[in-house]
């Protein structure tokens, strides 16, 4: 046993030496940028990141205190605190997914309206501004703000970047890159490019809808399988003396391992069943 321990320590030391030879970029601000991007994509651009983090901490503390007080088990309080603190993040992610699905269904109409304005002879900035009136209802307020800002400043690319940051949508990122390139180098194929993009977006929406419909029952069954043991535990907790079995160290360990396995299995299930989402470019 001593030889195995010495070998393990030597291996860990060698790995640490090897790891120290490779430089790593600074990552101090990356979590903050990710949180800001998540809030913007969820439509919560007015919510400051520190306020959101404070809400997570407060929700975790309140849920942990209430569960621990009701059950008398600190391990259940800790689990409830972690779940309550992570719930707003999952809520934001679900909101992002729903907003992207809804936006993806409306972007082909917006691209068609833009192509029609370009085909009618409108200048590129005027064509983009026209989406404030002729575009889908969902995007009209954002394009109205773009039109007002463009009339005030006249800086098309600067206002286009602001609009791209406000919408935080992968489809508009590609559209904005196309518009910027056309603005800079010119070209007469913008109308054909927009029509091709519109057809591609409609086909992508149709394909993703079929895939989500086919996998929805599998995802629901997996979620039920993960939640079933905890539902049973909640039902058993209504009987007197049931929770006393988890009051010692062994019981707490069983609950902790069960929570870790459930959370890990759920994350793996989501990872395996997740459809590849388009990533934002130039962000």
Domain chopping of the chain, boundaries: 103-205
> Residue-wise over 48-81: b if at least 16 C-beta within 10 A, else e?
eeeebeeebeebbeebbeebbeebebebbbbbbb
pLDDT at 58: 93
pLDDT of residue 22: 55
In 138-235, beta strands by DSSP E: none
With beta carbons less than 8 A apart as the criterion, state whether 159 and 146 touch.
yes
Task: Write down the pTM of the prediction.
Answer: 0.65
pLDDT for residue 10: 54
**What is the b/e burial string over 247-272, where b = at least 16 CB atoms within 10 angstroms of the residue's CB?**
eeeeebeebeeebeebeeeeeebeee
Phi (first) and psi of residue 23, to 5 degrees: -75, 145
Phi-psi region of 279 (alpha: psi -120 to 50; beta: other; left: phi over 0): beta
The tokens 């905890």 sit on which residue? 230
pLDDT in tens, the chain (283 residues): 455 455 555 565 665 555 665 555 444 445 567 888 888 778 787 888 889 999 999 999 999 898 888 877 788 888 888 888 888 998 898 888 888 888 888 888 888 888 888 888 888 888 889 999 888 888 899 899 999 998 888 888 888 888 888 887 888 888 888 888 877 766 567 778 888 888 888 888 888 888 888 878 777 887 888 888 888 887 877 776 777 777 778 888 888 888 888 888 888 887 777 777 777 666 5
d(Cα 94, Cα 97) in Å, to the nearest integer? 5
Distance (Å) of CA 34 to CA 23, 40, 245: 22, 10, 42
Is the Cβ–Cβ distance between 71 and 237 less than 8 Å?
Answer: yes
The pLDDT of residue 26 is: 45
Q: According to the model, what pLDDT value does residue 243 have?
A: 74
């Amino acid at each position: 046993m001593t030889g195995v321990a010495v070998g393990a320590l030597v291996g860990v030391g060698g790995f640490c030496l090897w790891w120290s030879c490779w430089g790593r970029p600074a990552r101090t601000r990356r979590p903050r940028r990710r949180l800001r991007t998540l809030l913007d994509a969820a439509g919560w651009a007015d919510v400051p990141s520190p306020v959101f983090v404070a809400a997570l901490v407060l929700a975790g503390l309140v849920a942990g205190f209430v569960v621990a007080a009701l059950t008398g088990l600190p391990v259940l309080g800790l689990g409830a605190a972690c779940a309550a603190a992570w719930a707003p993040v999952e809520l934001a992610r679900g909101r992002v997914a729903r907003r992207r699905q809804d936006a993806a269904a409306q972007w082909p109409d917006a691209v068609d309206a833009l192509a029609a304005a370009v085909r009618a002879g409108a200048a590129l900035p005027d064509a983009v501004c026209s989406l404030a009136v002729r575009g889908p209802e969902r995007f009209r307020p954002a394009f109205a703000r773009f039109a007002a800002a463009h009339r005030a400043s006249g800086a098309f690319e600067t206002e286009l970047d602001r609009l791209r940051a406000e919408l935080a949508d992968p489809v508009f990122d590609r559209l904005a890159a196309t518009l910027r390139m056309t603005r800079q180098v010119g070209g007469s194929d913008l109308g054909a490019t927009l029509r091709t993009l519109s057809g591609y977006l409609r086909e992508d929406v149709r394909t993703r809808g079929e895939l989500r419909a086919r996998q929805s029952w599998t995802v629901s069954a997996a979620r039920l399988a993960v939640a079933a043991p905890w539902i049973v535990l909640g039902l058993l907790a209504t009987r007197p003396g049931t929770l006393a079995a988890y009051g010692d160290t062994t019981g707490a360990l069983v609950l902790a391992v069960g929570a870790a396995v459930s959370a890990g299995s759920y994350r793996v299930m989501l990872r395996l069943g997740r459809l590849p989402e388009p990533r934002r470019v130039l962000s």
